[in-house]
Structure 1
């Protein structure tokens, strides 16, 4: 198979942007650019002329001077999203630079073997077609310190030369290129100096990967480049940015695959004994570790958060006030001499490495692999009709889980593949030889030259290396059996394949691979068996889309997409970045701000239905009669429904994504129930301590309640039960309060409006807001609005107007947000809408008297009765500190309504 060269406008624009930098210079010839037997790149333009060219190019491409960071440095930047062909762009740029200006000396500098091999693949794959197009073929070679004759050739030859090398080739004095005492020097000078006399144009592929250290700058400087041209999707250093193809532009224009994020995560996992090793402190005293674990707060709530700095001898159960961890006493905090990794060892034998998480991840991995294989089979069937081979990529946590004596992931894959295969193949069973043949793998090369561990022998490893890193076209051939590629981190940057349609990340580390790198391995538009790119029309329905990448991470969709957007923001910046800060400055200018109605018919219709449901006014009457604390508590406790500890698979199709936000479509979710693991707990002690009631009263309550839900998730049950009992105690104050509907309604003006307001307290909400922005009074409100704006299950939301007030005996009460949510079943596709009113506070616990005043607690209690009087259509959630808390409660409510 030979991949076909395409004439793509955006690639031509990027190439032309570089060519124009040298506009006006004299063309290099043998006579004007050959000195002392060395053929050099000569540019007669002065700094002012080049700078003017750069300014004009940036302006033509719509890049503001501040963003372009224009300077007299001999650095140029071209920014192209992963998967849009930047390697081919800079290779074609080399051809054009020789064609226009006669430049002959080029170096392609890469940070890794994988990227170097990718460059060689691209050059070799397109060299015939490029030669036909341009009429010549440059001499391109991989630098090898044992083949210095090629370097001599590079220095002297009149024909275009491309030397492809890693930074490691010359990044220390002992490297051969830097050595001054050798018998084979070039004209008695180190090769690095001789190369410098050629004034090469250096193309830096992924320069953010180690090319901007002080040592790297010094070493690259010795090459005396005419210009350095940086190509990346994620520049950390931006200088003279000529051309930019952002993720948003490439996604919108259909230049890369559309993305489905199918997340697999734990839900309601307070009883999972999960622990993360966050940080280590190593100074003059003994090392200390900071862990993240489930803490039981004074109010009884369970929170997953950081501990203080812990030392050997500390008991995690005591530190977290969570008796489930009492068997986790720290025995050792150590840094491995061999791996240089920190670990914490507990008294029960559990060992935890820095930046990793404990817990049984096999069920999560199993479900990730299950969905990967299902998606793989489904896509394979559709793509085969168009002559397109489907590939899937799996990132694993450590090599030993695939190559070791107990290859957990390898065995899990074989087990799930064997189980799922008959469903798509008429009930037939796959042979063990077949399951082995469809798997390929590439792990980092050892210093000894072997490619990871010795399974299958070195020759087998080399064969797989040749296939995955060198034989891209062979891997694309439908006759090659390999369909699933396993890697650790070696394929994280620089390797991709146009026919990767599914990516799963099976890891215990919480920052193993950056999101844009992770996604980037499969963004490229796919090719058929003739090597031709197969594009979708911009108007294609998702169900008919060919170029769709499914990413299967083991984290929530919100976490995944937020991190992805933050990476984009770190590169492109954003008007909304930092808008979540709380401003308390007084006396600042008030601006006239216009609030525009969202033009979406879906939002308009949903909000009007919502407002009709919640616009009814109420009044109240009060009566006083004693109620029994025990009977009320028993009644409420028997209504507890602790959600199952589950692993949840959830699908989201991203329609658009940029530095300013995303648009997506929720594809549904499914759950798999898990078993909780916990140590013995004293229910009586825990409930008595968390509610203040006596042991005798606690025993009487417990004797009358159903403990089935306690067994499901003891920490969660204790928190829920204690909260209910405390609420009963508080409700003695409001027990006699009764709300009834008056028949009057709040009238909502649906027009646009203007307000005098401090614009620093405004958050933009163009996607899900009823209006295009809302005013926030606190950082908590700001964050809630941001999450609602980016939640695929939210139809619309509104910061409720100040005139929407509920009567209470202690004054009028104005809730914060109205939210309309949707729920679509993954299998049936049916969708329903649900209405919520939310009160945000600095706590999720109504009994938290440190965060809430008695008046606030009383008003919230009254509001509960107010919305109860309205009926079940509008659900009230208060108080809410974190959006995830609201989401959990809303999901539980929706589940209950659906079951009802």
Structure 2
């Protein structure tokens, strides 16, 4: 099999986004890029030139400078969802950079062997096809400390060189590349220094995996990169983010598989003896715990999974829950480990549970997971076989010993369930032991002692299976190869994937420590057939006919799984809406594609178009500061600061006795001792300046007028904290006072077509009467109630939740108002009916000065928006903040009455 190279538009955009950063660079050649026999990457572009190029790319890609986190550091970030081909993207980028600028030195830096092998495999898979397109192929090789001649070749060669390295190969001073005392040095200098003279472009694959520690930053700096280009789906450090493909975008466009979360904890839960450690009480006396378990009602047969009361050593869980299934569970020990810092509850039957872990007896849960995995695998295999597509399933296990060991419980469960399910899909036939063994593959390492472990070092037994999974991606995909189920611990959790993984089961003990995006990412790629061609689904394909669907089978509830996934998405993108949608095949809420349709009512359409013409006018702002006013305000407020004395309290207790009932003591008294502080006035000025952005000169003017400097001496850090807050507020007030908006002459486009959103039924409400769309997106109960009330109001002509791309620029960031609304009202004087235009910002209060309900940033953005809408004149009236629709109507009445 040979993977077929595709021309995918989103990949081309990602590639060209990097290439354009170096626009204006003279093409490197032997004459301008070779010194003392070393061929280097060179560019005469200044930092300003690069920054301007970056800004142009951001504009093309629709990324704000705030999100991009512009920096003059030589770092670029490319963010692509797992499964969308980022490895191929940066490989093609290498080809393009040589083609356009003659850059020849590239280092691909990886955190693990699995990722390194994936890159080498990708180079090999597309080598001939890329050569036919570009007319050359770079020398791509894996760094090996025993083959330093390849490193010398990398340094000297005029032809494109790509060295693939793990961070571990040079991240300490004793590594060969860093050694200065060797017989085989390059021109009498350490190899690391010689590599640095080539100014390589460093491609960082998954940089969040240890490449931003202090030590790593120091070691990477020795390579003296021309630029570092970071590729990941989950950047932790963001600098110059020039391209972003979110999970939602890739999911919506059909660039990755759809996701089904198949929960097994909800099937026959009562029989699983599930137990969770919910709370611990410790301090005086022996520790106590609260456990969540199945409780049987004493008056009915109702069974409920709920939290117990406080339990201690000796308590029998069966008695406490009235559930005889737990009678073998008596608490024998409650302990906190010194090594892990985690609490453990041990039962008399040997079962153990830890914090954030479900019951120690997991075999029933695992059995169900494996059973469902095999069912899904066989059903999909039969569906895919006519299309010449092989189905693979991936199983993450909790411990290697549970698959390879004296008691391989997971392997035994797999064999048992495979034998049970197989006949159902194979005409009643029974599989042989040889067949069951042949369908299993695994990726584990083995130490020289013979002990299996989940790491990437050591002696590799079962070399054939190891090579097949890690390097033989094409061979693994062939129908003739028997391996269909791949078992791993965590070594395949990042970097390894396969386009034909259709099912993933996670047999982990502790679900809270599993990264959902990593878990899902192993199977997101669009599948390929036996010719190596990707096989896509039509956008409107029925679920029953869908080919590209990944089934994830976790050992937790759907709600827990999705909540954690959304938290990961939110931590990266600031909103859960950037995440891929998921369907749930058992119980629970469903997140699905929802279509929002434009209202076809002519009255609504006509009114909305007129409204948008008024609303869409863009503005730019200028700010004029009155420094003297700012200083005077700050001085007045800072002089009011009073700081309590910085003291150390000495207290005395006389212990009268210590016995089994506890200790008895008598309070002897206490004494406060004032402490003296040492600080430098210039340091104080510097810290306040850094905290507020105010110049040193302005700070000196403020301090010249302070009359309470004795308060500084009491506790300088606290004084700095309070003074900084005062100055920042004064700055914001002065900014608003001096803020001026002007119309630019440009307008936001009229782009209001039907659209599809991956969202649960709690994320929208139906607005069939007055909505510009038949449904309204909502983020809160306040927005929900506002939408429902507006849709019923006879005076409302139309309304909508304003799109996220309608942004008003402010000095503290873009502002996105909530609702746009058109209201009609008859003029009692002339009998004519007029339309009035409103923009509404809904919040949990009607008072702009309510600092308990509003953040400072929200207050200031609203105040900025007031000035923006004032510039639009009387055409559009702005109401903010608004909690209830009735309050908006009252305020609207005041405005309309003043106009007519």
Residues 1:334 and 1:178: Cα distance change in structure 2 (over 3 Å): farther
Please say if residues 118 and 494 of structure 1, whose CA atoms lie closer than 8 Å, have aligned partners that are also in contact: yes
Q: Indicate the residue corresponding to 2:39 in structure 1.
A: 39
Cα contact 1:764–1:773 (8 A) shared by 2: no
CA contact (8 A) 2:331 2:345 kept: no
Shift of 1:443: 2.1
1:144 alignment counterpart: 144
Determine if contact 1:442/1:451 at 8 Å carries over to the other structure.
no
TM-score relative to the length of structure 2: 0.61
Q: CA deviation at 1:321?
A: 7.1
Report if the CA contact (8 A) 2:499-2:523 is conserved: yes
1:503 match? 504
The residue aligned with 2:404 is 403
Distance 2:162 2:523 in 1: 28
1:115 is aligned to 115
CA gap of 1:306–1:398, structure 2 versus 1, over 3 A, is farther
Contact 1:451/1:461, CA 8 A, preserved across alignment: no
Please tell me whether the aligned partners of residues 370 and 505 of structure 2 are also in contact (alpha carbons under 8 angstroms).
yes
Q: Which deviations, in whole Å up to 9, do the C-alpha atoms of 1:215-247 show, x marking residues without a partner?
A: 211111111111111111111111111111111
Matches within 5 A, 1:452-601: 452=453, 460-574=461-575
In structure 2, the CA distance between the partners of 1:249 and 1:184, relative to structure 1 (3 Å rule), is: same
SS in 1 for 2:511: coil
Deviations 1:700-746 (A, max 9, x none): xxxxxxxxxxxxxxxxxxxxxxxxxxxxxxxxxxxxxxxxxxxxxxx
Q: Distance in 2 between matches of 1:282 and 1:51?
A: 56
Distance in 2 (CA, whole Å) between partners of 1:223 and 1:502 is 41
2 CA distance for matches of 1:211 and 1:502?
31
Query: How many angstroms apart in 1 are the aligned matches of 2:48 and 2:187?
Result: 35
TM-score (norm 1): 0.61
Q: 1:103 to 1:410 in 2, by over 3 A?
A: same
CA–CA separation in structure 1 for the residues paired with 2:495 and 2:545: 30
Contact 2:596-2:756 at 8 Å conserved across structures: no
Distance in 1, Cα, partners of 2:140 & 2:474:
20
2:74 counterpart residue number: 74
Structure 1: runs of 5 or more not aligned: 578-596, 602-655, 666-747, 775-900
Q: Offset of 1:269 from its aligned partner?
A: 5.5
1:21 is the counterpart of 2:24: no
Partner of 1:227: 227
What is the CA–CA distance in structure 2 between the aligned matches of 1:156 and 1:184, rounded to whole Å?
A: 15
| Structure 1 Cα separation of the partners of residues 479 and 519 of structure 2 | 25
Question: What is the Cα-based RMSD across aligned positions, in Å?
Answer: 4.1
Q: Greater relative contact order (Cα 8 A, min sep 6): structure 1 or 2? A: 1
Q: Check conservation: 1:442, 1:464, Cα contact below 8 A.
A: yes
- Alignment match, 2:215: 215
Q: Is the 8 A contact 2:393 2:486 kept in 1?
A: yes
Structure 1 residues 489-511: Cα deviation after superposition (integer angstroms, max 9, x where no partner): 11111111011111111222122
Inter-partner Cα distance in structure 2 for 1:466 and 1:450 = 19
Q: Which residue of 1 aligns with 2:264?
A: 264
Q: Distance in 2 between matches of 1:233 and 1:117?
A: 19
Does the aligned pair in 1 maintain the 2:391–2:502 contact within 8 Å?
yes
Q: How far apart, CA to CA, are the structure 2 residues paired with 1:213 and 1:534?
A: 41
Q: 1:760 to 1:468 in 2, by over 3 A?
A: closer
Residues 476 and 770 of structure 1: is their aligned pair in 2 closer, same or farther, counting only changes over 3 Å?
farther
The answer on whether the counterparts of 2:768 and 2:791 sit within 8 Å (CA) in structure 1 is no
Paired with 1:111 and 1:84, the residues of 2 have a C-alpha distance of 20
Tell me how far 1:762 sits from its aligned partner.
4.4
Partner residue of 1:377? Answer: 378
Structure 1 residues 843-858: aligned runs within 5 Å: none
- Tell me how far apart the structure 1 counterparts of residues 191 and 171 of structure 2 sit (CA, whole Å): 14
User: In structure 2, how many angstroms separate the alpha carbons of the residues matched to 1:383 and 1:279?
Assistant: 47
Q: What's 2:292 paired with?
A: 293
Match of 1:333 among 332, 335, 338: 335
Please give the alpha-carbon distance, in whole angstroms, between the structure 2 residues aligned to 1:114 and 1:263: 29
Q: Which residue of 2 aligns with 1:8?
A: 8
Do the aligned partners of 2:54 and 2:240 also contact (CA within 8 Å) in 1? Answer: yes
* Pairwise CA distance, 1:195: 1.3
Q: CA deviation at 1:52?
A: 0.5
Q: Which residue of 2 aligns with 1:614?
A: none
Aligned to 1:160: 160
Instruction: Tell whether the 8 Å contact from 1:25 to 1:45 is kept in structure 2 after alignment.
Output: yes
Distance 1:514 1:527, change over 3 A: same
Residue aligned with 1:254, SS = coil
Whole-angstrom distance in 1 between the partners of 2:291 and 2:214: 36
* CA 77–281 in structure 1, closer or farther in 2 if over 3 Å, else same: farther
Listed one character per residue, the Cα deviations across residues 335-379 of structure 1 (whole Å, up to 9, x for unaligned) are 487x99875544553333554322432222222222211111111
Rate the CA distance shift 1:453–1:43 in 2: closer, same or farther, 3 A.
Answer: closer
Matched, 1:126 2:143: no
Judged with a 3 Å threshold, the aligned counterparts in structure 2 of structure 1 residues 143 and 87 are, in CA distance, closer, same or farther, namely same
Q: 1:187, CA displacement in angstroms?
A: 2.0
Cα displacement (A) at 1:305: 5.6
> Equivalent residue for 1:845?
none
Aligned length, in residue pairs: 605
The yes-or-no answer on 1:394 pairing with 2:420 is no
Would you say the 8 A contact 2:264–2:556 is kept in 1? yes
Q: Does 1:350 align with 2:344?
A: no
**Range that drifts further, 468-477 or 146-155:** 146-155
| Preserved contact between residue 263 and residue 554 of structure 1 (Cα < 8 Å) | yes
Q: Residue 88 of structure 2: SS of its match in structure 1? A: helix
2 CA distance for matches of 1:56 and 1:220?
28
Q: Check conservation: 1:439, 1:482, Cα contact below 8 A.
A: yes
Provide closer, same or farther for how the CA distance between residues 39 and 396 of structure 1 changes in structure 2, counting only shifts above 3 A.
same
- Gap change, CA 1:444 and 1:336, over 3 Å in 2: farther
Give SS of 1:264's match.
coil
